[in-house]
Amino acid sequence: MCLAALVISRASEASTWIDDYVDVATRAEAACQAHELKGCHDGLVRLGELTDGRPDFRCRLVPIDAGLGHADAALKDLSLCIRSGLTFKDLSTDPKLESVRASAGYAAVARESRRLAAPATDYSVHLALYDSALIAEDVAYDPAHGTFYVSSVRQRKILRIGRDGAVEDFITAAQAPLWGVYALAVDSTRGFLWATTTAGAESPPFEPREEGTSAVLKFDLGTRALLARYELHDGRHHGFGDVTLAADGELFVSDGIDGGVYRIKAGEGSEFVTLVATGSLRSPQTPALIPGNSRLLVPDYSRGIAVVDLQGGAVSWLRHPPELALFGIDGLYLDGRTLIAIQNGTLPERVLVMGLDSTCTRVTDWHVAVANVAALGDPTHGTFVGRQFDFIANSGWDRVKEDGSLGDEATATPAELWRLHLPATGKARGTACRAAGTG
Protein backbone atom coordinates (compact mmCIF):
# COMPACT_ATOMS: atom_id res chain seq x y z
CA MET A 1 0.00 0.00 0.00
CA CYS A 2 1.32 3.44 -0.87
CA LEU A 3 2.86 5.68 1.77
CA ALA A 4 1.14 8.74 0.31
CA ALA A 5 1.71 12.07 1.98
CA LEU A 6 -1.27 14.09 3.13
CA VAL A 7 0.97 17.15 3.26
CA ILE A 8 3.86 17.32 0.80
CA SER A 9 7.01 19.15 1.88
CA ARG A 10 8.34 21.56 -0.69
CA ALA A 11 11.91 21.57 -1.99
CA SER A 12 11.54 25.23 -3.00
CA GLU A 13 9.01 28.04 -3.16
CA ALA A 14 8.49 27.54 -6.90
CA SER A 15 5.04 26.29 -7.82
CA THR A 16 4.88 22.74 -9.18
CA TRP A 17 2.08 20.64 -10.60
CA ILE A 18 1.76 19.21 -7.08
CA ASP A 19 1.03 22.64 -5.58
CA ASP A 20 -1.48 23.35 -8.33
CA TYR A 21 -3.07 19.91 -7.92
CA VAL A 22 -3.63 20.35 -4.18
CA ASP A 23 -4.95 23.89 -4.61
CA VAL A 24 -7.28 23.06 -7.50
CA ALA A 25 -8.53 19.87 -5.82
CA THR A 26 -9.43 21.79 -2.68
CA ARG A 27 -11.33 24.50 -4.58
CA ALA A 28 -13.03 22.01 -6.92
CA GLU A 29 -14.23 19.85 -4.05
CA ALA A 30 -15.67 22.88 -2.29
CA ALA A 31 -17.50 23.95 -5.46
CA CYS A 32 -18.84 20.46 -6.11
CA GLN A 33 -20.04 20.07 -2.52
CA ALA A 34 -21.81 23.44 -2.77
CA HIS A 35 -23.44 22.37 -6.08
CA GLU A 36 -21.75 25.27 -7.90
CA LEU A 37 -21.81 23.48 -11.24
CA LYS A 38 -19.61 25.87 -13.22
CA GLY A 39 -16.89 26.01 -10.56
CA CYS A 40 -17.07 22.23 -10.10
CA HIS A 41 -16.83 21.68 -13.86
CA ASP A 42 -13.87 24.00 -14.33
CA GLY A 43 -12.04 22.47 -11.36
CA LEU A 44 -12.49 18.91 -12.60
CA VAL A 45 -11.34 19.87 -16.09
CA ARG A 46 -8.22 21.51 -14.64
CA LEU A 47 -7.47 18.47 -12.47
CA GLY A 48 -7.63 16.32 -15.59
CA GLU A 49 -5.16 18.63 -17.31
CA LEU A 50 -2.76 18.48 -14.36
CA THR A 51 -2.81 14.67 -14.34
CA ASP A 52 -2.53 13.93 -18.06
CA GLY A 53 -6.25 13.28 -18.45
CA ARG A 54 -7.15 11.04 -15.50
CA PRO A 55 -10.42 9.45 -16.66
CA ASP A 56 -11.96 9.42 -13.18
CA PHE A 57 -12.27 13.19 -13.39
CA ARG A 58 -14.15 12.70 -16.64
CA CYS A 59 -16.42 10.27 -14.80
CA ARG A 60 -17.20 12.95 -12.23
CA LEU A 61 -17.94 15.43 -15.04
CA VAL A 62 -20.83 13.35 -16.45
CA PRO A 63 -23.61 14.56 -14.10
CA ILE A 64 -22.07 18.06 -13.97
CA ASP A 65 -22.18 18.40 -17.76
CA ALA A 66 -25.72 17.03 -17.77
CA GLY A 67 -26.73 19.53 -15.09
CA LEU A 68 -25.28 22.36 -17.17
CA GLY A 69 -27.39 21.23 -20.14
CA HIS A 70 -24.46 19.81 -22.10
CA ALA A 71 -25.89 16.37 -22.90
CA ASP A 72 -23.49 15.68 -25.78
CA ALA A 73 -20.45 16.44 -23.61
CA ALA A 74 -21.91 14.30 -20.82
CA LEU A 75 -22.33 11.33 -23.17
CA LYS A 76 -18.76 11.75 -24.46
CA ASP A 77 -17.41 11.83 -20.91
CA LEU A 78 -19.57 8.86 -20.00
CA SER A 79 -18.29 6.81 -22.93
CA LEU A 80 -14.67 7.45 -21.96
CA CYS A 81 -15.43 6.68 -18.33
CA ILE A 82 -17.01 3.35 -19.23
CA ARG A 83 -14.09 2.38 -21.47
CA SER A 84 -11.70 3.09 -18.59
CA GLY A 85 -13.23 0.20 -16.63
CA LEU A 86 -13.58 2.38 -13.54
CA THR A 87 -16.66 2.02 -11.37
CA PHE A 88 -19.27 4.70 -11.86
CA LYS A 89 -22.65 5.13 -10.16
CA ASP A 90 -25.65 3.34 -11.64
CA LEU A 91 -26.41 4.92 -15.00
CA SER A 92 -29.99 3.70 -15.07
CA THR A 93 -31.14 5.39 -11.87
CA ASP A 94 -29.22 8.68 -11.58
CA PRO A 95 -31.85 11.39 -12.19
CA LYS A 96 -29.15 13.82 -13.32
CA LEU A 97 -28.53 11.67 -16.40
CA GLU A 98 -32.07 11.63 -17.75
CA SER A 99 -31.12 13.78 -20.75
CA VAL A 100 -28.09 11.55 -21.42
CA ARG A 101 -30.18 8.37 -21.30
CA ALA A 102 -32.50 9.91 -23.89
CA SER A 103 -29.66 10.47 -26.37
CA ALA A 104 -29.14 8.19 -29.38
CA GLY A 105 -25.74 6.89 -28.29
CA TYR A 106 -26.65 5.92 -24.75
CA ALA A 107 -27.76 2.33 -25.46
CA ALA A 108 -24.35 1.34 -26.84
CA VAL A 109 -22.56 2.90 -23.86
CA ALA A 110 -24.86 1.07 -21.42
CA ARG A 111 -24.13 -2.27 -23.13
CA GLU A 112 -20.40 -1.63 -22.85
CA SER A 113 -20.83 -0.77 -19.18
CA ARG A 114 -22.52 -4.11 -18.46
CA ARG A 115 -19.82 -6.00 -20.36
CA LEU A 116 -16.93 -4.38 -18.50
CA ALA A 117 -18.56 -4.90 -15.09
CA ALA A 118 -18.01 -8.66 -15.40
CA PRO A 119 -15.15 -10.15 -13.34
CA ALA A 120 -11.72 -10.36 -15.00
CA THR A 121 -10.13 -13.58 -13.82
CA ASP A 122 -6.82 -14.17 -15.60
CA TYR A 123 -5.26 -15.74 -12.51
CA SER A 124 -4.97 -18.84 -10.36
CA VAL A 125 -4.22 -19.10 -6.64
CA HIS A 126 -0.59 -20.09 -6.17
CA LEU A 127 -0.34 -20.34 -2.37
CA ALA A 128 -1.90 -18.94 0.80
CA LEU A 129 -0.11 -17.42 3.77
CA TYR A 130 -0.90 -18.78 7.18
CA ASP A 131 -1.66 -15.60 9.15
CA SER A 132 -4.51 -13.17 8.47
CA ALA A 133 -2.89 -10.47 10.64
CA LEU A 134 0.30 -10.00 8.62
CA ILE A 135 -0.66 -7.08 6.37
CA ALA A 136 1.43 -8.64 3.62
CA GLU A 137 3.00 -5.85 1.56
CA ASP A 138 5.71 -7.07 -0.83
CA VAL A 139 6.98 -10.33 -2.26
CA ALA A 140 10.41 -11.12 -3.71
CA TYR A 141 11.70 -14.28 -5.35
CA ASP A 142 15.13 -15.90 -5.08
CA PRO A 143 15.65 -17.94 -8.27
CA ALA A 144 18.84 -19.50 -6.92
CA HIS A 145 16.93 -21.36 -4.20
CA GLY A 146 13.34 -21.27 -5.48
CA THR A 147 12.15 -19.37 -2.41
CA PHE A 148 9.82 -16.43 -1.82
CA TYR A 149 10.19 -13.67 0.75
CA VAL A 150 7.15 -11.74 2.00
CA SER A 151 7.17 -8.56 4.11
CA SER A 152 4.78 -8.01 7.00
CA VAL A 153 3.83 -4.46 7.92
CA ARG A 154 1.75 -5.43 10.95
CA GLN A 155 4.10 -7.95 12.54
CA ARG A 156 7.38 -6.19 11.64
CA LYS A 157 9.06 -9.17 10.03
CA ILE A 158 10.07 -10.93 6.82
CA LEU A 159 8.76 -14.40 5.98
CA ARG A 160 10.50 -17.05 3.90
CA ILE A 161 8.54 -19.59 1.85
CA GLY A 162 10.50 -22.65 0.73
CA ARG A 163 10.15 -24.75 -2.40
CA ASP A 164 7.88 -27.09 -0.43
CA GLY A 165 5.56 -24.24 0.59
CA ALA A 166 6.71 -24.24 4.20
CA VAL A 167 6.55 -20.77 5.77
CA GLU A 168 9.01 -19.54 8.41
CA ASP A 169 9.96 -16.27 10.07
CA PHE A 170 13.17 -15.25 8.31
CA ILE A 171 13.95 -11.98 10.11
CA THR A 172 11.90 -10.47 12.94
CA ALA A 173 12.02 -7.27 14.98
CA ALA A 174 13.68 -9.29 17.73
CA GLN A 175 16.64 -9.94 15.41
CA ALA A 176 16.94 -6.61 13.60
CA PRO A 177 15.80 -2.97 14.02
CA LEU A 178 12.54 -3.26 12.13
CA TRP A 179 9.44 -1.11 12.08
CA GLY A 180 6.79 -2.19 9.60
CA VAL A 181 8.49 -3.94 6.67
CA TYR A 182 7.46 -2.71 3.21
CA ALA A 183 9.59 -3.32 0.10
CA LEU A 184 11.82 -6.33 -0.57
CA ALA A 185 14.41 -7.12 -3.24
CA VAL A 186 16.54 -10.25 -3.53
CA ASP A 187 20.04 -9.98 -4.97
CA SER A 188 20.72 -13.69 -5.43
CA THR A 189 23.94 -13.00 -7.35
CA ARG A 190 25.55 -11.24 -4.41
CA GLY A 191 23.63 -12.96 -1.62
CA PHE A 192 21.72 -9.91 -0.30
CA LEU A 193 18.15 -9.21 0.76
CA TRP A 194 17.13 -5.55 0.67
CA ALA A 195 14.19 -4.30 2.75
CA THR A 196 12.59 -0.98 3.60
CA THR A 197 11.09 -0.29 7.01
CA THR A 198 8.88 2.58 8.16
CA ALA A 199 7.35 3.48 11.51
CA GLY A 200 3.57 3.79 11.64
CA ALA A 201 0.54 3.16 13.83
CA GLU A 202 -0.32 0.10 11.70
CA SER A 203 2.96 -1.50 12.90
CA PRO A 204 2.67 -1.61 16.72
CA PRO A 205 4.25 -0.76 19.03
CA PHE A 206 4.38 2.78 17.70
CA GLU A 207 5.48 6.00 19.38
CA PRO A 208 4.32 9.34 17.92
CA ARG A 209 7.92 10.60 18.06
CA GLU A 210 8.75 7.95 15.43
CA GLU A 211 6.42 9.51 12.86
CA GLY A 212 8.21 10.00 9.54
CA THR A 213 11.14 7.70 10.30
CA SER A 214 12.18 5.19 7.65
CA ALA A 215 15.25 3.23 6.58
CA VAL A 216 16.60 0.92 3.89
CA LEU A 217 18.29 -2.25 5.19
CA LYS A 218 20.64 -4.74 3.55
CA PHE A 219 20.80 -8.29 4.96
CA ASP A 220 23.00 -11.28 4.21
CA LEU A 221 20.75 -13.96 2.71
CA GLY A 222 22.82 -16.76 4.21
CA THR A 223 23.49 -15.55 7.75
CA ARG A 224 20.52 -13.14 8.01
CA ALA A 225 22.93 -10.56 9.46
CA LEU A 226 22.26 -6.86 8.97
CA LEU A 227 25.03 -5.55 6.72
CA ALA A 228 24.06 -1.91 6.20
CA ARG A 229 21.40 0.64 7.14
CA TYR A 230 20.53 3.73 5.09
CA GLU A 231 18.61 6.73 6.41
CA LEU A 232 18.20 10.41 5.59
CA HIS A 233 18.85 12.71 8.52
CA ASP A 234 17.46 15.92 7.04
CA GLY A 235 14.66 16.71 9.48
CA ARG A 236 11.93 15.71 7.00
CA HIS A 237 9.38 12.90 7.15
CA HIS A 238 10.20 9.93 4.93
CA GLY A 239 8.54 6.69 3.89
CA PHE A 240 10.76 4.43 1.80
CA GLY A 241 8.02 2.23 0.50
CA ASP A 242 9.17 0.64 -2.76
CA VAL A 243 12.38 -0.46 -4.50
CA THR A 244 13.73 -2.12 -7.60
CA LEU A 245 17.10 -3.76 -8.14
CA ALA A 246 19.32 -3.40 -11.22
CA ALA A 247 21.37 -6.29 -12.59
CA ASP A 248 24.60 -4.64 -11.38
CA GLY A 249 23.31 -4.52 -7.78
CA GLU A 250 22.24 -0.87 -7.73
CA LEU A 251 19.04 -0.23 -5.77
CA PHE A 252 16.42 2.39 -6.65
CA VAL A 253 14.23 3.58 -3.77
CA SER A 254 11.05 5.66 -3.84
CA ASP A 255 9.84 7.80 -0.93
CA GLY A 256 6.04 7.80 -0.92
CA ILE A 257 5.84 10.48 1.76
CA ASP A 258 8.42 13.12 0.79
CA GLY A 259 8.29 12.41 -2.96
CA GLY A 260 11.95 11.74 -3.72
CA VAL A 261 13.53 8.89 -5.66
CA TYR A 262 17.00 7.70 -4.62
CA ARG A 263 19.69 5.27 -5.72
CA ILE A 264 22.13 3.20 -3.68
CA LYS A 265 25.02 1.98 -5.77
CA ALA A 266 26.42 -1.51 -5.28
CA GLY A 267 29.47 -1.96 -3.06
CA GLU A 268 30.61 -1.11 0.43
CA GLY A 269 30.54 2.50 1.51
CA SER A 270 27.68 3.40 -0.82
CA GLU A 271 25.08 5.90 0.34
CA PHE A 272 21.85 7.58 -0.73
CA VAL A 273 22.16 9.57 -3.96
CA THR A 274 19.20 11.72 -5.00
CA LEU A 275 17.83 10.87 -8.44
CA VAL A 276 14.55 12.84 -8.32
CA ALA A 277 14.33 15.59 -5.71
CA THR A 278 11.16 16.39 -3.81
CA GLY A 279 8.72 18.44 -5.87
CA SER A 280 8.47 16.52 -9.15
CA LEU A 281 6.45 13.53 -7.86
CA ARG A 282 3.68 13.59 -5.28
CA SER A 283 3.84 9.99 -4.09
CA PRO A 284 6.23 7.76 -6.08
CA GLN A 285 5.67 4.01 -5.86
CA THR A 286 7.44 0.88 -7.19
CA PRO A 287 10.08 1.81 -9.80
CA ALA A 288 10.54 -0.38 -12.88
CA LEU A 289 13.94 -0.20 -14.56
CA ILE A 290 14.22 -0.25 -18.35
CA PRO A 291 17.31 -2.50 -18.73
CA GLY A 292 20.26 -0.92 -20.50
CA ASN A 293 18.28 2.15 -21.42
CA SER A 294 19.16 4.77 -18.79
CA ARG A 295 15.51 5.27 -17.82
CA LEU A 296 13.31 4.34 -14.89
CA LEU A 297 9.51 4.08 -14.88
CA VAL A 298 8.08 5.41 -11.61
CA PRO A 299 4.32 5.42 -10.92
CA ASP A 300 3.01 8.47 -9.10
CA TYR A 301 -0.05 7.53 -7.06
CA SER A 302 -1.88 10.76 -7.94
CA ARG A 303 -0.96 11.22 -11.59
CA GLY A 304 0.41 8.38 -13.71
CA ILE A 305 3.73 6.85 -14.69
CA ALA A 306 6.82 9.04 -14.79
CA VAL A 307 9.73 8.30 -17.13
CA VAL A 308 12.91 9.29 -15.26
CA ASP A 309 16.23 9.91 -17.00
CA LEU A 310 18.92 8.19 -14.93
CA GLN A 311 21.60 10.58 -16.17
CA GLY A 312 20.09 13.76 -14.79
CA GLY A 313 16.80 12.87 -13.11
CA ALA A 314 14.61 14.69 -15.65
CA VAL A 315 10.97 13.62 -15.44
CA SER A 316 8.57 13.15 -18.36
CA TRP A 317 5.33 11.15 -18.39
CA LEU A 318 4.38 7.91 -20.09
CA ARG A 319 1.90 8.60 -22.88
CA HIS A 320 -1.24 6.48 -22.95
CA PRO A 321 -4.74 6.21 -24.45
CA PRO A 322 -7.13 8.75 -22.90
CA GLU A 323 -9.36 6.07 -21.35
CA LEU A 324 -6.46 4.35 -19.53
CA ALA A 325 -6.31 5.25 -15.82
CA LEU A 326 -2.72 5.12 -14.55
CA PHE A 327 -3.19 6.66 -11.12
CA GLY A 328 -3.44 4.56 -7.94
CA ILE A 329 -0.62 2.20 -9.00
CA ASP A 330 1.23 0.56 -6.11
CA GLY A 331 3.29 -2.14 -7.87
CA LEU A 332 4.84 -1.74 -11.35
CA TYR A 333 6.85 -4.40 -13.21
CA LEU A 334 8.44 -4.60 -16.67
CA ASP A 335 9.26 -7.64 -18.80
CA GLY A 336 10.60 -6.59 -22.18
CA ARG A 337 7.85 -4.22 -23.30
CA THR A 338 5.10 -5.80 -21.20
CA LEU A 339 4.23 -3.62 -18.21
CA ILE A 340 2.18 -4.96 -15.29
CA ALA A 341 0.53 -2.54 -12.86
CA ILE A 342 -1.21 -3.35 -9.57
CA GLN A 343 -3.76 -0.66 -8.77
CA ASN A 344 -5.17 -0.36 -5.25
CA GLY A 345 -6.07 3.32 -5.58
CA THR A 346 -8.86 2.83 -8.12
CA LEU A 347 -12.40 1.48 -8.04
CA PRO A 348 -12.32 -1.35 -8.75
CA GLU A 349 -8.88 -2.34 -7.54
CA ARG A 350 -7.28 -4.29 -10.33
CA VAL A 351 -4.25 -5.65 -12.21
CA LEU A 352 -3.43 -4.18 -15.62
CA VAL A 353 -1.29 -5.66 -18.40
CA MET A 354 0.01 -3.11 -20.88
CA GLY A 355 2.09 -3.23 -24.04
CA LEU A 356 4.60 -0.43 -24.69
CA ASP A 357 5.93 0.96 -27.94
CA SER A 358 9.50 0.24 -29.06
CA THR A 359 10.93 3.13 -27.01
CA CYS A 360 8.84 2.38 -23.90
CA THR A 361 7.50 5.92 -23.81
CA ARG A 362 3.89 5.16 -24.81
CA VAL A 363 1.25 2.55 -23.96
CA THR A 364 0.01 0.99 -27.20
CA ASP A 365 -2.47 -1.54 -25.82
CA TRP A 366 -3.82 -2.64 -22.47
CA HIS A 367 -6.33 -4.85 -20.75
CA VAL A 368 -7.61 -5.53 -17.25
CA ALA A 369 -6.36 -8.97 -16.19
CA VAL A 370 -7.89 -9.13 -12.70
CA ALA A 371 -10.78 -7.04 -11.35
CA ASN A 372 -14.24 -7.28 -9.79
CA VAL A 373 -13.21 -10.38 -7.83
CA ALA A 374 -14.19 -10.19 -4.16
CA ALA A 375 -11.25 -12.30 -2.97
CA LEU A 376 -8.78 -9.84 -4.53
CA GLY A 377 -9.15 -7.51 -1.56
CA ASP A 378 -6.36 -4.93 -1.57
CA PRO A 379 -3.61 -6.19 -3.93
CA THR A 380 -0.17 -4.67 -3.38
CA HIS A 381 2.99 -5.96 -5.07
CA GLY A 382 4.31 -8.83 -7.14
CA THR A 383 7.38 -10.45 -8.63
CA PHE A 384 8.38 -12.27 -11.78
CA VAL A 385 9.10 -15.97 -11.30
CA GLY A 386 10.82 -16.81 -14.55
CA ARG A 387 8.21 -15.91 -17.18
CA GLN A 388 5.41 -16.15 -14.62
CA PHE A 389 4.17 -13.28 -12.45
CA ASP A 390 2.95 -13.76 -8.87
CA PHE A 391 1.33 -11.01 -6.79
CA ILE A 392 -0.15 -10.48 -3.33
CA ALA A 393 -3.95 -10.54 -3.16
CA ASN A 394 -6.06 -9.79 -0.09
CA SER A 395 -3.10 -8.10 1.65
CA GLY A 396 -5.19 -7.03 4.65
CA TRP A 397 -4.79 -3.27 4.16
CA ASP A 398 -8.54 -2.87 3.73
CA ARG A 399 -8.96 -3.93 7.37
CA VAL A 400 -6.62 -1.25 8.76
CA LYS A 401 -8.53 1.51 10.57
CA GLU A 402 -7.54 5.17 10.72
CA ASP A 403 -5.90 4.69 14.11
CA GLY A 404 -3.78 1.82 12.75
CA SER A 405 -5.72 -0.95 14.49
CA LEU A 406 -6.87 -4.04 12.60
CA GLY A 407 -10.56 -4.74 12.26
CA ASP A 408 -12.80 -7.68 11.33
CA GLU A 409 -10.56 -10.33 12.88
CA ALA A 410 -13.36 -12.88 13.08
CA THR A 411 -13.94 -12.98 9.32
CA ALA A 412 -10.39 -12.25 8.17
CA THR A 413 -8.69 -14.59 5.73
CA PRO A 414 -4.94 -14.82 5.04
CA ALA A 415 -3.28 -13.09 2.11
CA GLU A 416 -2.57 -15.21 -0.97
CA LEU A 417 -0.12 -15.26 -3.83
CA TRP A 418 -2.00 -15.27 -7.13
CA ARG A 419 -0.34 -16.21 -10.41
CA LEU A 420 -1.23 -14.05 -13.37
CA HIS A 421 -2.05 -15.84 -16.62
CA LEU A 422 0.26 -14.22 -19.17
CA PRO A 423 0.81 -15.30 -22.76
CA ALA A 424 4.05 -17.21 -23.18
CA THR A 425 4.89 -15.16 -26.23
CA GLY A 426 3.82 -11.88 -27.72
CA LYS A 427 5.15 -8.86 -29.52
CA ALA A 428 6.00 -7.07 -26.28
CA ARG A 429 7.21 -9.91 -24.07
CA GLY A 430 10.96 -10.34 -24.02
CA THR A 431 11.49 -7.57 -26.60
CA ALA A 432 13.79 -4.89 -25.21
CA CYS A 433 13.05 -1.19 -25.36
CA ARG A 434 15.28 0.94 -27.55
CA ALA A 435 16.40 4.43 -26.63
CA ALA A 436 13.91 7.18 -27.39
CA GLY A 437 14.72 8.98 -30.60
CA THR A 438 16.65 6.08 -32.21
CA GLY A 439 15.63 4.39 -35.41
Query: What is the tens place of the pLDDT at every residue in 183-236?
Result: 999 999 999 999 999 999 999 999 999 999 999 999 999 999 999 999 999 999
Q: What pLDDT, on the 0 to 100 scale, is given for residue 324?
A: 98
CA distance 28 to 51: 15
pLDDT more than 70, % of the chain: 94
Beta strands in 123-198 (DSSP E): 123-128, 136-142, 147-152, 157-161, 167-172, 180-187, 192-198
Average pLDDT of the chain? 92
pLDDT tens figures, 318-354: 999 999 999 999 999 999 999 999 999 999 999 999 9
Band of pLDDT at residue 92, cut at 50, 70 and 90 = confident
Beta strands in 256-399 (DSSP E): 261-264, 272-276, 288-290, 295-299, 305-309, 315-317, 329-335, 338-343, 350-356, 363-371, 382-385, 388-393
Among 1-10, 45-54, 207-216, 237-246, whose mean pLDDT is lowest?
A: 1-10
**Fold observed for domain 121-420:** Neuraminidase (2.120.10)
CB atoms within 10 A of CB 47: 20
Among 45-49, 109-113, 304-308, 345-349, whose mean pLDDT is lowest?
A: 109-113
